[in-house]
Amino acid sequence: MARLRTERQQRFQAGRRAEAFAALWLRLKGYAILARNFRHGTGEVDLLARRGQVLAAVEVKWRPDLERAALALTSRQKYRIQRAASVFWAQLPDHQRVALRFDAVLLAPWRLPYHIQDAWRPEP
């Protein structure tokens, strides 16, 4: 039991490090990080970043290779991200002028982050 808990804690910490690295990468690309791990209801967004008139809801995936990272983003996760991001977007004072976009940052060891802008479109 202790081993399982330790592995879970290690995965959690690895995820936090990946999110911090992705946030740094986005800042270097000119984004302002508005929130990390924003939760609302049953949804969560890893990063909410703004550049110009675009608010990007960013899902961060860390896997042994970029292909597995891309495949790890499920339709259920996308839906939950969309719900939480919509709440955050509606709280912005100028939300009518800001476009909401869904991005992904994929991370793998010894590789530069791969930022996919407009990684998916919201489902109705």
- Domains defined for the chain, CATH in brackets: 2-120 (3.40.1350.10)
In this predicted structure, the answer to whether residue 48 has a pLDDT above a threshold of 90 is: yes
pLDDT class of 116 with cuts at 50, 70, 90: very high
Ordered strands of the 54-62 beta sheet: 32-40, 43-51, 54-62, 99-107, 114-120
In this predicted structure, the answer to whether residue 4 has a pLDDT above a threshold of 70 is: no
pTM confidence score: 0.92
Mean pLDDT of the chain: 93
In this predicted structure, the answer to whether residue 28 has a pLDDT above a threshold of 90 is: yes
What pLDDT is recorded for position 47? 98
